[in-house]
């Protein structure tokens, strides 16, 4: 696996984790659990955004 593939895979994993937390939060009957899952969901979106920005910077440096 090269670094380009690595970044793409990690970004995809962050998006997948976001979707899993969203699905779990939608099914959570307990308010506190739902809030916790929604917080994790938000954090995954932050991770994905950060990876996407840094990946684009890295790609531009490689050109």
CB-CB contact of 22 with 41 (8 Å): yes
Q: What's the pLDDT tens digit per position in 25-60?
A: 999 999 999 999 999 999 999 999 999 999 999 999
Q: What is the pLDDT of residue 46?
A: 97
pTM for this predicted structure: 0.90
> Is the pLDDT reported for residue 1 higher than 90?
no
> Is the pLDDT reported for residue 14 higher than 90?
yes
Q: Where are the domains of the chain?
A: 3-62
Q: How many CA atoms lie within 13 A of 4 on its CB side?
A: 5
When pLDDT is averaged across residues 3-23 and rounded to a whole number, the result is 97
């Amino acid at each position: 696996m090269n670094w380009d593939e690595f970044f793409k895979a990690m970004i995809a994993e962050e998006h997948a984790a976001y979707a899993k937390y969203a699905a779990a939060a939608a099914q959570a009957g307990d308010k506190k659990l739902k809030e916790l899952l929604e917080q994790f969901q938000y954090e995954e979106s932050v991770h994905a955004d950060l990876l996407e920005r840094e990946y684009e910077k890295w790609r531009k440096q490689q050109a």
